[in-house]
Structure 1
Amino acid sequence: MRLPVCASGSARNIGEAADRGGEPIDVEQVCAMVDEFMGAGFSYFDTAFTYHDGASEPAIKRALVDRYPRESFQLATKLPAWAAKSAAEARGMLDISLARTGAGYFDYYLLHNLGGELSQPFEDYGLWEFVQQKKAEGLIRHAGFSIHDNAAALDALLTAHPEVDFVQLQINYADWENPKVESRKCYEVARAHGLPVIVMEPVKGGSLVKLPPAARAVLTEANPSAPLASWALRFAASLPGVLTVLSGMSNIEQMRENVGVMRDFKPLTAEEAAVVERVRGILDEAPTVPCTDCRYCVKGCPQHIGIPAALESLNIMAQFGDERRAKENYAWSTGSHPASSCIGCGACERVCPQHIAITSELARAAELFE
């Protein structure tokens, strides 16, 4: 099980729960984790309308809202407009989230997972104006959005919607200079717009604790007693303007480790930052598929295959050997259009600026992940 909700409320925070379904939530364990988390002085909890097939918000009610005074914690949840078929359905998600959690209001409310074609429903349904209205009514304290897209797309959104209070970005040291994720560039755009940042994926879904031997050796030599996750958390939390760092925790042991890192937080020193840079260099040297996510291949694919997602999963395997993460990314991102549905027409390869042998790579992805 992945913990469906958890984060801290100090200036830097350590919890998140982007579960995509699976086994039932162990609410008893969540209660125990909430108690230790709150007892350590942390108070920010993150959930979403769709997490764990809708079961995450009721779980946080039982584990947190029903057991602690409302003013003692901060709660964030998210509105996924792309999962709605109408403006009324999308707007109704806030009322459902309030009913599920019993929270009365949300400290942080996010338009969930913008980027590419997923951004349009938020415009079509008038949700930017909707959240500002609900903020004025006191149901939302801080309004923002999460995004998985490049820096140019983020800049366009923030220029069009300067009213937002914060932005949630994928930031970790492996993706800092990644040309697809553009962690650094996105962070710099947010800061240029004067916005604080909430960090998601600081440990890259767990991949940064499953490092290849050469990368692991660099960190272990630099500090034998430091957990691998601590390097990732401290990298993200050392950035100026970061409100909180969300990190999925599956059990009390992981939570205790993360709390230990953040309770007595120390920013990375210049020497430690150089160590992290060496690790990033090792990861970048892995023989990955040179996909830049331009998506030219997707536009002409008669099978509508999520080609960039399949290639990304291959790269997760190449860089980290993290089969669980690679398969999770593949299943979530390709959905009903897997690599095995490729008919070998070659339309993708004719338009690929990187001249990738896409059909061969899709065959490899199908063999590894299906």
Structure 2
Amino acid sequence: MMDNPFAKKLGFGLMRLPLNNPDDMTDIDRKTLQNMVDVFMERGFSYFDTAYVYGGSEEAIRETLVRRYPRDSFTLTSKLPIFAISTEEEQENVFQEQLQRAGVDYFDIYLLHNVNVENYQTAQKLHTFSFLQQLKSEGKIKTLGISYHDNAELLEEVLSAHPEIEIILLQINYLDWDNPDIQSGKCYEVARKHQIPVIVMEPLKGGTLAGVPKEAEKLFRQYNPDASPASWAIRYAAGLDGVVMVLSGMSTMDQMLDNTAYMQNFVPLNDEEHRIIKEAAAIITANIAVPCTTCGYCLDTCPENIPIPKYFSLYNNKMQTIDLFYYPQQQYYENYTKTYGKASDCIECGACEEHCPQHLKIVDLLKDVAKAFEIPAPHEQTE
């Protein structure tokens, strides 16, 4: 690992990459990604975060980073998808595949991916922590950790039982801090109690905090006309005690240039900025119908091939539309139904909800989506 992999607190999250085809998460625009990697490295940033289930990202970072830069010039993190593994032997097979995909001999940081009550039970059954410790003793991983999506009580249990955990990836943003389901603040406090360094994921809540309602953006711009809404969210997370890195899933060069500009010489939020953040959070919360982060974990489990995140995004946009007689989201929804299942095709199996890090009641929410898009629009109704 580099002498100080956390010298700059902005990490390049590789879950949402530039795409040639926005409907195919594996069709990565490698030319644009390479240019983004170069800007990131040239500006002194060096932390990259990928995972086995981020379609094509391990291979893409091999071509755009690993084969083009000295191994000791960057920090590479990946994750073991315990939720997709059923045998101890499979753990070793997946890990070896990841090394091959990424083109490396070791990972600087390796995380047990998406630890929650179900996945933790699987990890105990498969002796996963012992497996990870063995990888570390062999030098194949330098730092062992977990990414976490559950309540603070379980996190206390996990960290108490496994002192070998050296770092933790938590979902933290100013919208989820007091959320009773996600428990960002409470989980953060547990990590601090155990003195475990924190890496932050979803600081923008899947882009929600980058495209805030106009009223909230006005608050930000009045204080600092040049600061993007995204900068407020990332600086909020980066300023927390014990946070060593904040990941941003950058998918455009503009996002890369903006984020690296204000994080080049990071300055934490002051008291007035914290006050503005709280006011903006109240506005944003009142405008979000479905707090989906578009992570896509629900997609592989849906037997009806329903593009759940896409439908939730359309639904959120429609709910913020003032004109009741025209909303383009309707046409987009109908376009999707020609390829994918409709919201009303949901058979209520609940598989999606088991894999949702946001603990959304997806089955019920899809009923709302169906009501919004599958009944005649007001201008189409007849007497």
Scaled to the shorter chain, the TM-score interval is 0.7 to 0.9
Gaps of 5+ in 1: 1-7, 291-302, 344-356
SS at match of 1:206: coil
- Preserved CA contact (<8 Å) 1:114 1:149: yes
Q: Distance in 1 between matches of 2:362 and 2:53?
A: 32
Matched letter for residue 142 of structure 2: R
Contact 2:76 2:108 in 1 (8 A): yes
1:229-240 aligned within 5 A: 229-240=230-241
**2:87 alignment partner in structure 1:** 86
Alignment partners' CA distance in 2, 1:164 and 1:142: 8
Report whether the alignment pairs 1:122 with 2:126: no
Distance in 2, matches of 1:124 and 1:264, equals: 45
Alpha-carbon offset, residue 337 of structure 1:
11
Distance 1:91 1:73 in 2: 25
What is the TM-score when the length of structure 2 is the normalising length? Answer: 0.76
Q: Give 1:45-60 correspondences, 5 Å limit.
A: 45-52=48-55, 55-60=56-61
Structure 1 position 364 matched with structure 2 position 341: no
- Aligned CA-pair RMSD: 3.4
Q: Deviations over 1:59-96 (max 9, x none)?
A: 11111111111111100001101112322112221111
Aligned match for 1:41, one of 37, 44, 61: 44
CA 105–238 in structure 1, closer or farther in 2 if over 3 Å, else same? same
Q: Structure 2 vs 1, CA of residues 314 and 33 (structure 1 numbering), >3 Å: closer, same or farther? A: closer
Distance 1:105 1:359 in 2: 40
Q: Cα offset for 1:101?
A: 1.3
Measured against aligned partners, the alpha-carbon deviations of 1:228-264 in whole angstroms (never above 9, x if no partner) come to: 1100010000001111100111121110100001101
Aligned equivalents of 1:262, 1:319: Cα separation in 2:
34
* Deviation, structure 1 residue 365: 2.7
Does the C-alpha gap of structure 1 residues 242 and 366 become closer, same or farther in structure 2, counting only changes over 3 Å?
Answer: same
Quote how far apart the aligned CAs of 1:314 are.
Answer: 8.7
CA deviations over 1:302-333 (Å, ceiling 9, x no partner) = x999xxx99x9599828995999xx9xxx9xx
Alpha carbons 2:8, 2:45 under 8 Å: kept: no
Asked if 1:341 corresponds to 2:346, the answer is yes
Pairing 1:24–2:27 present: yes
* Matching residue's letter, 1:63: T
Classify the secondary structure of the residue corresponding to 1:198: strand
The answer to whether the 8 A contact 2:33-2:64 is kept is yes
TM-score (norm 1): 0.78
Amino acid aligned to 2:7: S
In the aligned structure 2, how far is the partner of 1:93 from the partner of 1:150? 28
Q: Percent identity?
A: 41
Structure number with the higher helix fraction is 1
Please name the residue that 2:103 is paired with. 102
1:165–1:210 Cα change, 3 Å: same
Counterpart of 1:15 (choices 5, 9, 12) is 12
**CA distance in structure 2 between the partners assigned to 1:18 and 1:243 by the alignment:** 20
Change (3 A) 1:336 1:116: farther
Counterpart Cα distance in 1 of 2:140 and 2:76:
12
TM-superposed deviation, 1:11:
3.9
User: Quick one: distance in 2 between partners of 1:51 and 1:287?
Assistant: 26
Residues 361 and 205 of structure 1: CA distance in aligned 2, closer, same or farther (over 3 Å): closer
Runs of 5+ in structure 2 lacking a partner? 18-23, 292-301, 322-327, 349-360, 375-383
| CA distance in 2 between partners of 1:338 and 1:250 (Å) | 27
